[in-house]
Amino acid sequence: MKKFNVFKRYFGLVFLFIAPLIIYELVNGAVQHIRTGGNKDIHNPVVWVIILAIFTPVAIGLVIFGWYAYRGEYDWLPEKSQDLDEP
């Protein structure tokens, strides 16, 4: 069971590093593909704004998930409702 917890922590680090890379690549792709005289949809800035607006919160969520996984917040997960702490 402890090996799986170590795996979750390392996977959290992967999420922490991959999310900013994804945002960088999306912004870089937008900058390279937006052209005022382009005829295809990939050259339209509206499409890129929509893509960035959707995937930026997803990447932020990956960072948050990765941070919690790295800190060990997911080392113990309840299996039944009775296992939850009562207030």
- Answer yes or no: is 62 within a domain: yes
- Distances in Å between the Cα of 53 and the Cα atoms of 44, 60, 61, 66, 69 are 15, 12, 13, 21, 25
The domain of 47 spans 2-74
User: What pLDDT, on a 0 to 100 scale, did the predictor assign at position 39?
Assistant: 72
- Answer yes or no: is 86 within a domain: no
- Taking only the tens place, the pLDDT of each residue in 24-67 is 999 998 888 887 776 777 778 888 899 999 999 999 999 999 99
Q: How many CA atoms lie within 13 A of 87 on its CB side?
A: 0
pTM, rounded to two decimals: 0.74
Angle between helices 45-71 and 2-33 in degrees, nearest 10: 160
For residue 87, pLDDT over 60 is answered with: no
Name which of 13, 16, 7 is nearest 59 in CA terms.
Answer: 16
Residue type, 83: D
- Answer yes or no: is 55 within a domain: yes
